[in-house]
């Protein structure tokens, strides 16, 4: 029996994959799924995010991004965002000389949310999609540039107070 992934088969796509595809097509139509992903059994979206702050150098405004789904446990586990090139991240220090606090340096992945904060403050398997991850990544890129110029991170911080959390 063939190994059937969460997205179904080429002959019969799963309802979840169809919902993911529609959400991405509607929200981020320029993001695409490379054809080889189905052959490699590792699904991902690839596209670009453009920073809109006028202070950002024009040659660093557009950032290549891939949204990589987990192989087995989707949607229980969220997709991951990865920057395809780190040119805009090469100067990881801000105006105060601090290192970026919300970046996994090993693979240039942005820290988008803390799973321990619950489904209201991050990935929710019943309602979040890859489009959610792209939106959070775009917010992260904006917050990165603000932090770079001012030293202040405007995005949500690592933890939400326990009395405001909801169990995932």
Q: What is the pLDDT of residues 101-115, one digit of tens each?
A: 787 766 778 888 877
What's the sign of the alpha-carbon dihedral 149, 152, 154, 155?
positive
pTM of structure:
0.85
Interval 43-77: pLDDT, tens: 999 999 999 889 888 888 899 999 999 878 889 88
Sequence-separated (6 or more) residues with CB below 8 Å from residue 139: 155
> Cα dist. 108→87, 105, 131 in Å?
11, 5, 19
């Amino acid at each position: 029996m063939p190994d059937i992934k969460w997205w179904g088969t080429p002959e019969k796509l799963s309802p979840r994959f169809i919902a993911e595809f529609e959400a991405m097509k509607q929200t981020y139509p320029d993001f695409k799924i490379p054809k080889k992903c189905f052959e490699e059994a590792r699904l991902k979206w690839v596209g670009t995010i453009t920073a809109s702050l006028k202070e950002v150098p024009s040659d660093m405004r557009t950032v290549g991004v891939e949204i990589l789904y987990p192989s087995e446990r989707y949607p229980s586990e969220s997709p991951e965002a990865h920057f395809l090139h780190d040119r805009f991240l090469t100067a990881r220090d801000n105006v105060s000389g601090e290192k970026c606090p919300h970046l996994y340096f090993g693979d240039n992945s942005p820290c988008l949310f803390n799973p321990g904060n619950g489904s209201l403050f991050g990935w929710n398997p019943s309602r979040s999609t890859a489009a959610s991850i792209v939106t959070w990544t775009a917010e992260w890129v904006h917050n990165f540039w603000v932090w770079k110029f001012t030293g202040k991170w405007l995005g949500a911080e690592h933890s939400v107070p326990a009395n405001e959390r909801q169990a995932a």
